Amino acid sequence: MRSFRNLIIASILAGSFLLAYSCTPGACFDEMTAFMKTSLYRDSTGILTAPDSLSLWGVGMDTNKIYDAKKSLKQAFLPLDDSSVKCKFTIMINGVYDTLTAWYSSYPHLISKECGYSFYHDLDSVHTTNYKIVKISITKNSITNLSEENIRIYY
């Protein structure tokens, strides 16, 4: 009788232990921010090439300076404002300034139970002032937290 009671108590304790740990939230290891991924190409060759120097500022953003005279940078990650339909950036490639404007729409997306929601974006169009940038092409309109190129800048 005593061993049966010990078995019941052990089962209750084991069940309580499993129940307590099954309700504990896990850690979030996913990338939460959906950046617009921009690759830099030489217009003369069409090859992915890092400029000698790249600086990038967000116009009217909290984080004004995004990149400061970066060398060997072939891809830039541009943050978009979830509460707006456009973002403007000042970009300096090899000492020449240009302005890049992106128009998009944003929507919430559930990453996971542990991580919660993030905002994804659908890119409508991108325009530039064409001082250093020769052309821009959109390669993927859907801006997510995956590592996929969204636009190509030819300089």
Average pLDDT over residues 68-74: 91
**Does the structure show a pLDDT above 70 at 88?**
yes
The β-bridge relationship of strands 151-154 and 36-41 is: parallel
Is 24 part of any domain?
A: no
Distance CA 75, CA 1 (A): 71
Is 111 part of any domain?
A: yes
Is 125 part of any domain?
A: yes
**Does the structure show a pLDDT above 50 at 24?**
no
pTM: 0.76
Q: What is the pLDDT of residue 28?
A: 85
Considering its fold, how many domains does the chain have in total? 1
Is 80 part of any domain?
A: yes
And the tokens for 146? Answer: 């995956």
Host domain of residue 144 = 36-154
Is 3 part of any domain?
A: no
The β-bridge relationship of strands 86-93 and 75-78 is: unpaired
Give the type of residue at 101. Answer: T
